[in-house]
């Protein structure tokens, strides 16, 4: 299947494992991924999400290390497809990559709204993680009443200590709640993924692996995990 990844073009950047882990899980099962961004061309990741950066929050992310070490994959980050003109009909699902930059240029965004609406109206899978979940705010009339998660307000208030107050123009939780979605979350930096039919969301970078597997299983229409534990 063909999967579209929407990545921020903003200077604040995307969170690397929120791109690399879904990419790995999906391509490992034979699916193809196209990277696209509002401006097209090169996209940048948050320095703290690079496992090789000093003080990285993802120093142990072997998936990101492997991704960056592959010349072809690293080159793909330099030549993303512009969102304008993209046709959702050519794809089976969409994943919105997180990172604080997503809250700068993916909401509000008419091109993101156009694409996500096309996926949703066609009954295709829509996924988003962390700050990327704010892109769902572009579909308020379609997603009102749906269950979602994303980077919580409590986490954004913690992030302000690092990035400064109002470091992004919008925070995901208030945007999605105001859009009528049922937003849930666990404690800051805890793990949560939510599946509501064709809608899959992950709370934060700590949830990247769980979210990626939930996305994969929803795409394939089956979860291979069988729990045989008897009460």
Residue-wise pLDDT tens for the chain (231 aa)? 999 999 999 999 999 999 999 999 999 999 999 999 999 999 999 999 999 999 999 999 999 999 999 999 999 999 999 999 899 999 999 999 999 999 999 999 999 999 999 999 999 999 999 999 999 999 999 999 999 999 999 999 999 998 999 899 999 999 999 999 999 999 999 999 999 999 999 999 999 999 999 999 999 999 999 989 866
pLDDT at residue number 229: 85
Other Cβ atoms less than 10 A from the Cβ of 22: the count is 26
Q: Is the pTM above the cut of 0.95?
A: yes
CA distance 39 to 42: 9
| CB crowding 203-219: b at 16 or more within 10 Å, else e | bbbbbbbbbbbbbbbbb
Domain assignments of the chain as residue spans, ordered by start: 2-220
Q: For residue 200, what are its two tokens?
A: 């899959």
Closest CA to 49 of 61, 38, 37: 61
Half-sphere exposure of 106 (CA within 13 A, CB side): 37
CA distance 28 to 30: 6
CA distance 47 to 41: 19
CB of 14 closer than 8 Å to CB of 46 = yes
CA 99 to centroid of chain Cα atoms: 8
Looking at the domain that runs over 2-220, which CATH code has it been given? 3.40.50.880
């Amino acid at each position: 299947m063909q999967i579209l990844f929407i990545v921020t073009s903003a200077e604040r950047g995307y969170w690397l494992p929120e791109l690399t882990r879904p990419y790995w899980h999906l391509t490992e099962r034979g699916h193809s991924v196209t990277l696209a961004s509002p401006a097209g061309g090169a996209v940048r990741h948050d320095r703290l999400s690079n496992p090789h950066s000093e003080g990285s929050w993802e120093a142990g992310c072997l998936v990101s290390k492997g991704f960056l070490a592959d010349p072809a994959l690293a080159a793909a980050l330099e030549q993303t497809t512009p969102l304008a003109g993209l046709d959702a009909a050519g794809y089976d699902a969409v994943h919105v990559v997180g990172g604080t930059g997503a809250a700068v240029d993916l909401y509000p965004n008419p091109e993101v709204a156009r694409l996500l609406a096309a996926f949703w109206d066609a009954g295709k899978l829509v996924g988003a993680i962390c700050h990327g979940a704010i892109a769902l705010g572009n579909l308020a009339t379609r997603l009102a009443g749906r269950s979602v998660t994303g980077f919580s307000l409590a986490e954004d208030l913690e992030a302000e200590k690092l990035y400064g107050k109002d470091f992004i123009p919008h925070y995901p939780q208030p945007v999605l709640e105001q859009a009528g979605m049922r937003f849930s979350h666990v404690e800051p930096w805890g793990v949560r993924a939510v599946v509501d039919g064709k809608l899959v969301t992950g709370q934060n970078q700590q949830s990247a692996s769980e979210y990626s597997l939930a996305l994969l299983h929803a795409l394939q229409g089956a979860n291979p995990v069988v729990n045989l534990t008897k009460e």
